[in-house]
Structure 1
Amino acid sequence: MKHLFLKSKFLVAIMPVLTILIISGCNNNKKSSSMQAVKVYVANEEGGSVSVIDLQDSLKNTSINISDSSGNMFMAHNVQVAPDGKSVWVTAVPMDSTGTNQLVVIDPNTETVKNRVQLGKDLHVAHVVLDHESRNVFVTAKESNQVIQVDATSYKIIRKFDLETGHSPHGLRYAKGKLYVANMDAKSMSIINLTNGKITDIPLGGVAVQTAVTQDGRFVFASLYDTKEVVRYDLQNSEIRRIPLPVGAQGPIQLYATPDSKLLYVADQGELMERPVSNKVFVIAIPDAKVITTIKVGNKAHGVVISKNGKTVYVTNSIDNTVSVIDVATQKVIRTIPVGKGPNGISYWFETGGMP
């Protein structure tokens, strides 16, 4: 009886402690489960791979080789996370010029290649985007002057949009049933209406490399490499506003707007047309159409994407083989992350989707 009494007193004494520990443990589990996974995908053109940076797990860096089962190697130029977050699409240019251009499809749950779409030869595919429903994929083919549409479920080519000879389409973005395509050789932007197939060409007066669409649906921007400008195209009245970049700019490539549609980040690359390599990102105030800040990053700044919450910018540095992380609040680089060789395109993934 004495032992039972002492045992009962002991249990009574420790019950509050056990209760606190159990509740505390539950709270900790709740906290960890509420933290959404976020990742950045980087297309390493020279390395023939895709780097996956886990932003919640000490920046763990995984490399996905995009070579096929026969050992054929491909240059990964651009990468795009589907808006539903269920797939990641990579434009794959064969390192052997006689090979077939592909779209490589990655499963973000396993970080493995789950499918390949054979697009054809002599295309030089460049950029890839998806519609908001993640049903259709669109990829530019520079040499054939086309935009190719692929069904995201069947992985079949369902339509081709033919641009005029000599357009050399490169970057593109999707918004509200239309594609906005940057044409390097035509020095223009093609607007493709996906409902009726109509193509409208907007002269821009410079080598257009990439486009960006603000999430409020008001503006489309295009980077003009040779003139060292960014063009703002007003979707409400078709007005074009030219934004000159500061002295010292060497030629903009990719550009991306913050989710609140207030700021535009422009990667200034240089190197092409025998220009010096640049290490700058220019920040444009969208309402004023003016450059307000210059941020030094790594060498040959190329790709740019912004986090879902609009607090962080990620920029690929193609010569340094790194990604610069910029804090939007301070406009300063807060981290530099090593990736594969020759990083180009970059895309942002979160548990329920991807940045467009």
Structure 2
Amino acid sequence: MRTSLISLLCLSLAACSEGGSNGLSPEPSTQDLIFTAVEDDGTLAVLDADTGALLRTVDLSLTAHGAPVKVAVHNVQAAPDGRTVWLTAMPISEDGGHAGGEMDEELVGVDIAAASVVSRISLGAELHAAHVVISGTTAYVTANEADAVLVVDLAAERVARTIQLPDGTGPHGARLTPDGRLLIVAGMGDGSLVFVETGSDDVTRYDLPGRVVQTAVLPNGRAALATIYDTRQVARIDLSSREVELFDLPSSSAGPAQLYPSPDSRFVWVADQGMLDGDPAGRSLIAMDATTGQVHRSATVDPGPHGVVLNERGTKVWTTTVVNGTVQAIDTSTGAVLSTADVGNEPNGISYVHEGGVMP
């Protein structure tokens, strides 16, 4: 059951694993770029953040016994130095299913300037590696089936340790606090929010009323937020008092997936995906007040919006849409769609690198 849920949400390099891409057009390293994990195609899509145009697609297939093996890529996150992006990748068996224990899942690193794979870190088998977040040269990867968080040393290219979470957590999305001391994990399996102390690996669990898909942390560090699919809500937890509040999404909500805060910590943008349990696909990107939960603005987008990220000025928000296979840019002040790019089958995770840095 858990596998089918995550496949809908976001779980789902023959030539390119040796450093190639389709070479649509080269871009300078200082260009503002959007990166999207295209799950069903096993590719990384690279877009121009200014125009919304697709620049290139990098194939992330691996090679086993001299033959290419397709991977399902779930999530993508840019490293803080803006030089690489990292994706969780699950090998796909010949019949189209997940390879399971046959092959290890991987964390794949792609050099941004070269648009080529530069690292493939083995994570282990039967994990259902979901989201990745990065602090310095340390990556934290949620392992849904293992009820764990893998701590990966990117420089040494190995899993340094495993943090075990409560049984049944089914971790999915995760984000770090600005100081890097807390990892906030979405418990999709048991409807929980889990706080992991990165210095000690201590774990604290908070009950929520439904499956938790993704988390967000306000840039000012005052609160964490999380989407609750079953109740069509966003949870807000004060990081000082640990008090939990629940904010209702509009009654028309199809069911939220990812969310992302504005740089000024005033709003959080929620992708209203739907599509679980036979639900119809949603078509809204919703901006809520991050303190009161009041809906500030709603933008109509392609069906099944999933991933979401904002630019460093808070003037533009991007979303991946699962049904149409697009990445859309939206003006945050008007809700108008600024651009739409076809990127492939079931784009999910999304990350943004700009000339001055990286959105976490």
TM-score by length of 2: 0.86
The 2-side partners of 1:184 and 1:115 are apart by 29
How far residue 259 of structure 1 moved from its aligned partner, in angstroms, is 0.5
Task: Give yes or no for the alignment of 1:37 onto 2:39.
Answer: no
8 Å contact from structure 1 (residues 86, 353) kept in 2? no
User: Is 1:49 aligned to 2:43, yes or no?
Assistant: yes
Deviations 1:43-70 (A, max 9, x none): 0001110100023577242000000133
Gap regions ≥5 residues in structure 1: 1-33
Q: How does 1:204-243 map to 2 (within 5 A)?
A: 204-243=208-247
Unaligned runs of 5+ in 2: 1-27, 94-98
| Greater Rg by CA | 1
C-alpha distance in 1, partners of 2:184/2:202? 12
- In structure 2, the residue matched to 1:200 is 204
Give me the whole-angstrom Cα distance separating, in 1, the residues matched to 2:204 and 2:54.
44
Q: Identity, % of aligned pairs?
A: 36
Measured after TM superposition, the shift of residue 180 of structure 1 is 0.2
Amino acid at match of 1:50: L
Residue 75 (structure 1) aligns with: 72
Counterpart CA distance in 1 for 2:138 and 2:229 is 29
The alpha carbon displacement at 1:149 in A equals 0.5
User: 1:183 corresponds to which residue?
Assistant: 187
Q: 1:304 aligns with which of 305, 308, 331?
A: 308
- Provide closer, same or farther for how the CA distance between residues 248 and 58 of structure 1 changes in structure 2, counting only shifts above 3 A: closer
Counterpart amino acid of residue 345 in structure 1? G
The Cα shift of 1:109 comes to 0.8
* Aligned length, in residue pairs: 321
Which one of the candidate residues 246, 252, 259 is aligned to 1:248? 252
Q: Structure 1: how far apart are the matches of 2:32 and 2:208?
A: 36
Tell me the distance in 2 between the aligned counterparts of 1:54 and 1:245.
Answer: 31
Q: Is the 8 A contact 2:42 2:72 kept in 1?
A: yes
Paired AA for residue 314 in structure 1: W
RMSD of equivalent CA atoms: 1.5
Say yes or no: does 1:135 pair with 2:137.
yes
Q: What is the one-letter code of the residue matched to 1:85?
A: G
Q: Is the contact between residue 181 and residue 191 of structure 1 (CA under 8 Å) also seen in structure 2?
A: yes
Distance in 1 of aligned mates of 2:150 and 2:183: 12
Q: 2:91 aligns with which of 90, 94, 99?
A: 94
CA shift, 1:159, in A, is: 1.1
Cα deviation, residue 287, structure 1: 2.6
State the match for 2:57 in structure 1. Answer: 63
CA offset at residue 350 of structure 1? 1.8
Counterpart CA distance in 1 for 2:357 and 2:83 is 7
Q: Is the 8 A contact 1:61 1:339 kept in 2?
A: no
Q: For 1:330, which of 328, 334, 345 is the aligned residue?
A: 334
Structure 1 residue 229: Cα displacement: 0.5
Bigger helix share:
1
Q: Which residue of 2 aligns with 1:113?
A: 117
Matching residue of 1:145: 147
Deviation at 1:338, TM superposition (A): 1.4
Alignment-mate amino acid for residue 70 of structure 2: M
CA contact (8 A) 2:248 2:293 kept: no
Structure 1 residue 145: Cα displacement: 0.7
1:124-151 CA deviation, whole Å, 9 max, x = no partner? 10000001xx220000010111100011
TM-score, structure 1 normalization: 0.87
